[in-house]
Amino acid sequence: MRPRSEKHQGRPDTKREEPFRPRKPAPQGQGKPDTRNLGPRAIALDAVGEVFSGKAPLDHAIASHPDHNRLEVRDRAFARAIAAAAVRRKGALEAALAVFLDKPLPQTADRGRHVLLCGAAELLVLDNAPHAVVDAWVTLMNADEKTARFAGLANAVLRRVSERGRGAFDGADPLADLPDWLAARWAKTYGEKTARAMARARAGVPPLDLTPRPGIDAGKLAGDLGGELLPTGSIRLEDAGDPTLLPGFAEGRWWVQDAAAALPARLLGPKPGERIADLCAAPGGKTLQIAASGAETFAIDRAKKRLPPVHENLERVALNAHVEAADATQWTPDAPLDAVLLDAPCSATGTLRRRPDVAWAKEEADIASLAEVQSRLLDAAFAMLKPGGRLVYCTCSLEPEEGEDQIAAFLERTGSARLDPVKPGELPELETAIDSQGAVRTRPDMWASLGGLDGFYIARIVKG
């Protein structure tokens, strides 16, 4: 294989990666200074391999890497930035690389492909200095006995990408960054124009959204943080860095929560003295919203290992809730509830701005199996309500089977349930997200001038 100067249309396969067998000492070995920042890059490379082989989510792959804790905070952030860029912009990066390759690397050379992908991500997404980037990734290519034979290729291709790869990268179809099955679904469901807008909106690094604690002057808090108060009450920050270092975190004046994720609890309208359950509650953002209203709050999640953040967040913001590890389809309150919020487990395709690896962790068949779980949870949640009680069902999915179709089937089989339409005034500057039935469908391309938001489906139901 040799570099070439004509565009190649094929896309490399990403089959399961083979174990890394170093042929040289590790980049940070023997206490020598990591003058070329090889440590963070090596971690990013391994994490990308974990994601595309289906072994681990991106953040887990990085945090569980044996060298992760040896890095300074800024280097950990650097490792994640590289890996996230490579995963998020995979299709466009491959298009730029293909221009300078005679043919893709062989199927047995996954790690070599990932070296090129990460190097191109630094050059075209992060815009890092070309000389340092090329030198570092050629060194890492040469450090593995299975990829060392591609070191010369990496040197030539990455140099050409840095000089002439921008056009192919910028001109790539945004849908190429997604798995083929997901791109096809979005095009069929939303039309190609909207699907491309959605894919383009999830291609950039998202801002940080915060939910201010009730009683806090949100406008003043936004000013103190250098952020923007969004129409629905969230605060949005650009380039915020580590949120735990921001003013007001330790004092519990706010918590991290995407603006779209904050909508279900707001549309539920919890009131002081009500008894409300948050089902599938972890990590607890919606639990905090409900508890902050003064309602008696029950936070239920099946996975006990996911509950510590719920406890920690409640303690930090000085709020109370009954937190319990239980299967929501089996859990029964001691008396009928005033309201239930069900944030059902789903494919999470609406969260790709923040979690780009989710697209590669799912398969199309997962949607049908998740829809079955959602159906059981809906029936169980509705049974917990007293007459006149209200249920808000939501998923962070863009797939109709987990949203519109799910609620249509539920209403058809449940005679005592009726949809309570969301009114335009409840969603300022998001009125177009309300569908003809009065449910809510947010998409990544909405609020484009404000930085977009996650994809959610939200339906409010009343028990007759």
Residues at the annotated binding site?
A: 280-286, 301, 327, 343
Residues at the annotated binding site for S-adenosyl-L-methionine?
A: 280-286, 301, 327, 343
d(CA 396, CA 453): 11
Cβ 126 vs Cβ 85: under 8 Å? yes
The structure tokens listed for 438 are: 């009065």
d(CA 20, CA 18): 7
Nearest partner of 291 among 323, 335, 267, judged by Cα:
323
| C-alpha distances in Å from residue 386, one per residue of 343, 391, 457 | 20, 11, 24
The structure tokens listed for 80 are: 């994640």
**Residue 396 annotated in active site:** yes
Pairing of strands 337-343, 275-279: parallel
Q: Which parts of 315-463 are beta strand (E)?
A: 322-325, 337-343, 385-395, 417-419, 440-442, 456-463
Which of 118, 346, 394, 396 is labelled catalytic?
Answer: 396
H helix and E strand count, the chain? 17, 12
Q: CA angle 287-289-292, nearest 5°? A: 105
Q: Which parts of 293-383 are beta strand (E)?
A: 296-301, 322-325, 337-343
- Where does residue 434 fall: left (phi above 0), alpha (psi -120 to 50 degrees), or beta otherwise? beta
The residues carrying an active-site annotation are 396
